[in-house]
Amino acid sequence: MSPPGRASTPDAGFDSDRPDAVPLDPKSGKAILLFAFSLLREGDAFEVSAGKPPADGRARADAYLASRVKVILHGAPAGLTARVLDEMRGQVQGNLQLIARLQAGRPIFVDVIPTGRKMASFGYPKHASAHAAGLFWDQPSWPEARIALRQEALEKERALVIHEMAHAIQRLAFTREEQDDIYRIMLPVYRSRSWVDEVFAIYSEREFLSAFTEREGLAPGVYGLARQRWDERHVFTRFVRNLYFPYKPLAGSYGRGFF
C-alpha cells in the first residue's frame, strides 16, 4: 500500500491488515533458485564478472505479462495499459529466474481505479485507506492476486507501479521460508511485518530511481523513514539489487584491486 495514513510506530493490529497471499510453493522454489537469498543467509557473495542483461529478458518478460497479467482500465485511458505493462516489464526483465517464478505463481489482475471511486467498490478490503495510491491484495479464495492503482496517482507517483509490483513479487514469487528470511533480517529494525513489506517495496523503488526526492523522504511513517535510511552499503540493498539485476556489481562494491 502506498502510502497509508500517518503513523510513527507500528500499530499492534497493523499486521492483521496484510493480505493472506499465497506464496510460491517450496517445490518451485527449489527448482527455480534465486541467488539473492544467499546474500541474506550467508552474508557475502562474489560478483559476476563482466555481467550483461539477459539477451532474452524482454521477450521472456513479455511472455509472462501476456499470459499471467491482465490490466482492467474501468474507463481509464487505453494508453495506461501499455504504461503499466512497460513498467512491470522493466522491473522483472533483468532476472530470468524471477520471471520463471512469477510464471509459476499466481496470475495478477491490475485494476486502474477511477478518480473518486473507493477500492472497496472493486472488491478490495473495506479497510483499505482512502488515501492509498495503490494496493496489492490476495487471498486463497481468489483465482488471482490483485493490484489496485489509482488513476490520478499514476500521473503523480513515479514509482507507484514498481512499489505495488514489488509487493506482488515478495508475496507471490518467494516461498514462505524465503519471506521469513527477509523478516529475520529486518524485523529487529522495523518491528512489524507490514513495515518490512513496505521497506522491501521502497528499496525496490530505489533500484529504478536515481535518487529519492525530498518529498518522498518526508512521506509519513515508514515510507519517509526507509527512504531516509536507504544506503548503498546495506545488506538489504545488496539483496534487492541482486534480485532485480543479478548481472550487476553488488551494491556497495568498491571495484577490483590490482597488484
Q: What is the pLDDT of residues 121-131, one digit of tens each?
A: 999 998 887 77
Over range 22-51, report the average pLDDT.
81
Q: How far is CA 101 from CA 67, 241, 259, in A?
A: 13, 17, 41
pLDDT band, residue 18 (cuts 50/70/90)? confident
- Is 64 within 8 Å of 102 (Cβ atoms)? yes
Over range 85-92, report the average pLDDT.
98
C-alpha cell at 48: 559476476
59 burial (CB, 10 Å; 0-12 / 13-18 / 19+) is exposed
- For residue 13, is pLDDT > 80? no
Length of the chain: 259
3-state helix vs strand vs coil in the chain, percent to 5? 50, 10, 40
Over range 197-225, report the average pLDDT.
97
Alpha carbons 60 and 163: distance in angstroms, whole number: 21
Question: To which H or E segment does residue 70 belong?
Answer: strand 69-72
pLDDT at 118: 93
